[in-house]
């Protein structure tokens, strides 16, 4: 299996050298106990960063969001230098074997063992792997259907215990909505709130060109703050295309001419059909955006 | 660690002898790969059955609900004879060392490995362990606060992709609501729908004595069909106490005199305070109910 795994020890106090916390292991060997809360309860957090030739895309943004998810879930703060070192170690080793290939690195921190209670710290690792080949979707676009996420747009404020905005390991629904999209003949889904606002994809941010501006919903609407979305917005601004973070009413979707789902490994996938309606997309603009996103370092 | 683990092989075709699919392992050794969808996406299902002296409480009901969760999540049907044999094997071995102790057995089936795609079947196991000592809660009762689950009561019908009613491994919210309850000075929580109906606890059914009947919400309201609730209802009926499965409006809670949260290992925990209001409870009735529940076999 083409992957490189680095397990992370979580000592009681920070180490002088983050590398001391890293333990390279074989991803083909079992590493997780059956009573780890990561598997018994989906009780942990994760991030996935893209990479080419050892350059890691938006790593600080991923580490910051990892820390934000930990706060939302009452988890201990992840040791950023240690997770950073783990990601660089795993990706560096795999990139050395696979120059020029698009890679990704998933890093995970769970709440640790379910029992005995209190006798342990978190479980963590970073695993580098070959990214799926998303070039066809970037070029030809994807077919998207909207699906109800079931919760109101303001649920992050009214009911923080629902963990909206946390990138948790409890992603069974994020996967089931894709199965439902495929049943409906689509590639992916755009989740909407029960009170009629656009949210995000199950593993992507939604960006739409509306009235000459590229618009995306704010994190306060209960969506993940997109690392790729943020870098795409910076690039659009450089191109002289105005951007705005604001709530999007579902009724506005009828007026959207162009839209993208952005994420760390697929990058900017233009939506060619939304709920059965063809959208325009600018292949040149999207190609230049993805070229920029692939070249990021940091 | 006082636990007995049995890993389950998932062959392409059913075996003649379910025991051939069982592989006893040490729960202190890692058994799960870091790319198992059970941990990377909380993408799997579980059940927990209680047991004393090798008698397994409501095992067929648990196996049936396991199969129901698999259907709701588009997972392959679990091989019931194999999972039954795994539960009996794990609990039988632990009970031999711990006669008379309250034990529990968690069994899990995940969707298998995230990559390479399609190159594998599910991952499964059963692990028997000592149950926490819930006797104080059964006797003295628990303090419960209501919390919003964020979704409407009818979400199982309108939006089946939200997996309401599936006992999945994506239980991060089921744990965060208990942390919120503890922050509010309570032991547990009663989840309510966004449109004002009573649902269930994060790992328990809600039973309330209303107008002389013991009432619980129906599975069609997006709650788990409770295995312990069903056996409690049968027992109440034997005692001449009428029971009814029907939706419960949150406004009815003000009139509830007695209520319980029922689950497989805590069994019937009487609620002594609900949202700050003391409830009555009948210690003798609850003790007799729990005695009955502890004696179940099958």
- pLDDT at position A245 over 90: yes
Measured distance CA(B154)–CA(B159) in Å, rounded: 8
**Arithmetic mean of pLDDT, B147-155:** 98
Burial zone of B36 (CB within 10 Å; 0-12 exposed, 13-18 middle, 19+ buried): buried
Q: How many CB pairs under 8 A join A and B?
A: 183
Buried b (16+ CB within 10 A) or exposed e, B209-231: bbeeebbbbebebbbbbbbbbbb
The mean per-residue pLDDT over the stretch A146-155 comes to 98
pLDDT of residue B119: 64
Q: What is d(CA B272, CA B258) in angstroms, rounded to the nearest whole number?
A: 8
Give residue-wise pLDDT tens across range A179-235. Answer: 999 999 999 999 999 999 999 999 999 999 999 999 999 999 999 999 999 999 999
Rounded Cα distance between A212 and A6, Å, is 45
Least CA distance to B172: which residue of chain A?
A43
Q: Among A70, A75, A161, A180, pick the best mutation site for testing chain B contact (most B Cβ within 10 A).
A: A161
Q: Does A35 touch chain B (CB under 8 A)?
A: yes
Question: Of B288, B259, B296, B294, which is closest to residue B275 (Cα–Cα)?
Answer: B259
What average pLDDT does this structure show over A28-41? 97
| Statement: residue B1 has pLDDT above 60 | no
H/E stretch holding B229: helix B227-238
**pLDDT at position A76:** 96
Closest residue by Cα to residue B222 from B244, B259, B195, B188: B195
Nearest CA in chain A to B107: A40
3-state helix, strand, coil in chain A (%, to 5): 35, 30, 35
Strands of chain B (E only): list them: 3-8, 22-25, 44-52, 55-56, 102-110, 123-130, 142-148, 188-192, 198-200, 205-210, 213-216, 243-245, 258-263, 267-274, 277-278
Give the side-chain half-sphere CA count within 13 A for A262: 26
* Nearest Cα residue in chain B from A113: B28
Instruction: At B41, list the tokens.
Output: 């996406």
Using a CB–CB cutoff of 8 Å, tell me whether A147 touches chain B. yes
Q: Is B194 on the interface with A (CB under 8 A)?
A: yes
Which one of B31, B168, B176 has the shortest CB-CB distance to A163? B176
Q: Measured between CB atoms, does B271 come within 8 Å of chain A?
A: no
Percent of chain A having pLDDT more than 90?
92
B119 in contact with A, Cβ within 8 Å = no
Q: How sure is the predictor about A236, in pLDDT bands with cuts at 50, 70 and 90?
A: very high
Give A185: exposed, middle or buried? Use CB within 10 Å, 0-12, 13-18, 19+.
exposed
pLDDT of B120 strictly over 80? no
Chain A residues touching B37 at Cβ < 8 A: 175
Q: What CA–CA distance (Å, rounded) separates B67 from B50?
A: 18
Measured CA to CA, the distance from residue A9 to residue A121 in angstroms comes to: 9
Mean pLDDT to the nearest integer, A161-184? 98
Residue A105 is predicted with a pLDDT of 98
Residues with Cβ < 8 Å from B16, sequence gap 6 or more?
none
Between CA B53 and CA B247 the distance in angstroms is 37
Asked if the Cβ–Cβ distance from A170 to B42 is below 8 Å, we say yes
Cis peptide, bond prior to residue B116, ω within 30 of zero: yes
Determine which of B173, B178, B194, B195 to mutate to test the interface with A (most A C-beta atoms within 10 Å): B173
Structure confidence at residue B281 as a pLDDT band (50, 70, 90): confident
Query: Tell me, what's the pLDDT at A118?
Result: 65
pLDDT average, residue stretch A140-150: 98
- Judged against a pLDDT cut of 70, whether residue B256 lies above it is answered with yes
Q: What is the mean pLDDT of residues B141-160?
A: 98
State whether residue A180 sits within 8 Å of chain B by CB. Answer: yes
Which residues have C-beta within 8 Å of that of residue B256, sequence separation ≥ 6?
Answer: B208, B209, B210, B274, B279
Distance, in angstroms, between B211 CA and closest chain A CA? 32
Structure-block tokens of residue B7? 């890993």
Nearest to B147 among A29, A161, A169 (CB): A161
Q: Are residues A127 and B35, on separate chains, in Cβ contact within 8 Å? A: yes
- Cβ of residue B125 closer than 8 Å to a chain A Cβ: yes
Question: pLDDT tens, A247-281?
Answer: 999 999 999 999 999 999 999 999 999 999 999 98
Q: Please judge whether A171 and B169 are an interchain contact, meaning their C-beta atoms are less than 8 angstroms apart.
A: no
CB B183 within 8 A of CB A179: no
- Rounded average pLDDT over B122-134: 97
Give me the residue label for tokens 């905005």.
Answer: A165
Residue of A nearest to B157 (CA): A150
At A119, the pLDDT band (50, 70, 90 cuts) reads low
Q: Can you say whether the dihedral through the CA atoms of A167, B176, B45, B28 is positive or negative?
A: positive
- Closest residue by Cα to residue A107 from A138, A69, A54, A151: A69
**pLDDT value at B239 more than 60:** yes
The nearest alpha carbon in chain B to A126 belongs to: B34
CB nearest to A34's CB, from B31, B150, B168:
B31
Residue B31 to residue A28, Cβ atoms within 8 A: no
**Strand ranges (DSSP E) for A123-255?**
123-130, 142-148, 188-192, 198-200, 205-210, 213-216, 243-245
Average per-residue pLDDT for chain A:
96
Cβ–Cβ below 8 Å for A125 and B151: no
Rounded to whole angstroms, the Cα distance separating B276 from B134 reads: 22
In a mutational test of the A interface, the residue from B150, B164, B191 whose CB has the highest number of chain A CBs within 10 Å is B150
Residue B36 has pLDDT above 90, yes or no: yes
Cα(A120)–Cα(A109) distance, integer angstroms: 13
Tell me: pLDDT of A120 over 80.
no
A32-66 burial: b if 16+ Cβ within 10 Å, else e: bbbbbbbbbbbbbbbbbbbbbeeebbbbebbbebb
- Say whether pLDDT at A1 is over 60: no
Mean predicted confidence (pLDDT) in A7-18: 82
Which chain B residue lies closest to A1 (C-alpha atoms)?
Answer: B116
What confidence category does residue B80 fall into, taking pLDDT thresholds of 50, 70 and 90?
very high
pLDDT at B42 over 60: yes
Location of structure tokens 């409890």 = A170
Going by the DSSP 8-state scheme, the letter that residue B51 receives in this structure is E
Complete domains list, chain B, with CATH: 3-131 (3.30.470.10), 136-294 (3.20.10.10)
Which chain A residue has the Cα nearest residue B193? A151
pLDDT of residue B118: 65
**Phi/psi of residue A270, nearest 5 degrees:** -70, 140
Looking at the partner chain, which of A33, A161, A175 has a beta carbon nearest the beta carbon of B176? A161
């Amino acid at each position: 299996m083409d992957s490189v795994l680095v397990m992370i020890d979580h000592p009681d106090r920070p180490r002088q050298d983050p590398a001391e916390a890293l333990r390279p292991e074989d991803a083909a060997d079992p590493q997780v106990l059956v009573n780890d809360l990561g598997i018994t309860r989906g009780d942990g957090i994760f991030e996935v960063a893209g990479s080419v030739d050892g350059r890691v895309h938006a790593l600080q943004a991923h580490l910051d969001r990892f820390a934000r998810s930990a706060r939302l879930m009452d988890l201990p703060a992840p040791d950023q230098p240690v997770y950073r070192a783990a990601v660089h170690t795993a990706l560096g080793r795999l990139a050395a074997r696979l120059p020029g290939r698009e890679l990704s690195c998933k890093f995970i921190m769970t709440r640790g063992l379910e029992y005995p209670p209190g006798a342990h710290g978190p479980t963590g690792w970073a695993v580098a792997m070959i990214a799926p080949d998303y070039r066809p979707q970037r070029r030809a676009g994807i077919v998207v259907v909207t699906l109800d996420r079931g919760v109101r747009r303001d649920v992050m404020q009214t009911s923080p215990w629902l963990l909206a905005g946390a990138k948790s390991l409890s992603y069974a629904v994020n996967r089931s909505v894709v199965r439902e999209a495929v049943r409906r003949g689509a590639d992916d889904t755009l989740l909407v709130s029960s009170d009629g606002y656009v949210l995000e994809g199950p593993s992507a941010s939604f960006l739409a060109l509306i009235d000459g501006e590229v618009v995306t919903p704010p994190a306060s609407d209960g969506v993940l703050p997109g690392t790729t979305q943020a870098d795409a917005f910076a690039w659009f601004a450089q191109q002289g295309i105005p951007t705005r973070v604001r709530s999007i009413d579902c009724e506005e979707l009828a007026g959207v001419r162009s839209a993208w789902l952005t994420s760390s490994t697929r990058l900017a996938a233009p939506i060619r059909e939304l709920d059965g309606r063809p959208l325009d997309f600018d292949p040149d603009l999207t190609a230049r955006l993805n070229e920029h996103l692939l070249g990021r370092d940091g």
